[in-house]
Amino acid sequence: MTADLISTAIGQYGAIAYLLFFFLILIETGLVFMPFLPGDSLLFMSGALLAQANLSLSLVICAFSLAAIVGDFVNYSLGRRYGARLLKTRLARRFVKPNALARTETFFAKYGNSAISLGRFVPIVRTMIPFTAGMGKMARANFICYNVLGGICWVTIGILAGHFFGKVPVVRAHFELLMVAIVLVSVLPLAIAKFTKRGRA
């Protein structure tokens, strides 16, 4: 979903479009084989175009936070209960690549429990980290704590950034480039860590 599609959807359907976005966030965070959905750009655009939908900023933040938290808990529960069996299904093999899963496990090993919160800001890792935590039998209480914290922070930062910066004319004129920049900045920490590891080797 490109920035133009998001903008058009909000312009034509208003609050109904935000209901669709609610379910997209729920699906991206809740299903391990849906890491390609546009979480970061969706939050930014939703914040930037709130006025078109005539919705409350706090209402959207609360609703999207709920979707992110519930989605991660579903993902965690799937990993905890089914784990490796689910990864062997045809659908999972098609979208969950071994290198992406290995990168997520490395991210988890490096940051420990806080990876549940930090992983929210990294595309692909965001979708796989709760599943990995479930497979590793992370304590449910610990997961819930970091899940709630990460979900609220991710949604709040994304929507507020869009809400305030989206009003700047130069930003509105270059939404597509900004979406690409958001993705690049999100994956930058992983790229730095990878090159640092190669340098040490």
Over residues 47-58, mean pLDDT: 77
- Read off the pLDDT of residues 84-107 as tens digits, 9 standing for 90 and up: 777 677 766 666 666 667 767 777
171 band by pLDDT with thresholds 50, 70 and 90: low
Classify residue 162 by burial, with Cβ atoms within 10 Å: 0-12, 13-18, 19+.
buried
**pLDDT confidence of residue 95:** 61
Gap between the Cα atoms of 75 and 60, Å rounded: 22
**pLDDT confidence of residue 179:** 60
Rounded to the nearest integer, the mean pLDDT of the chain is 76
Q: Helix 57-81 vs helix 125-135: angle between axes, to the nearest 10 degrees?
A: 40
Q: What is the value of pTM for the model shown?
A: 0.74
**pLDDT confidence of residue 11:** 65
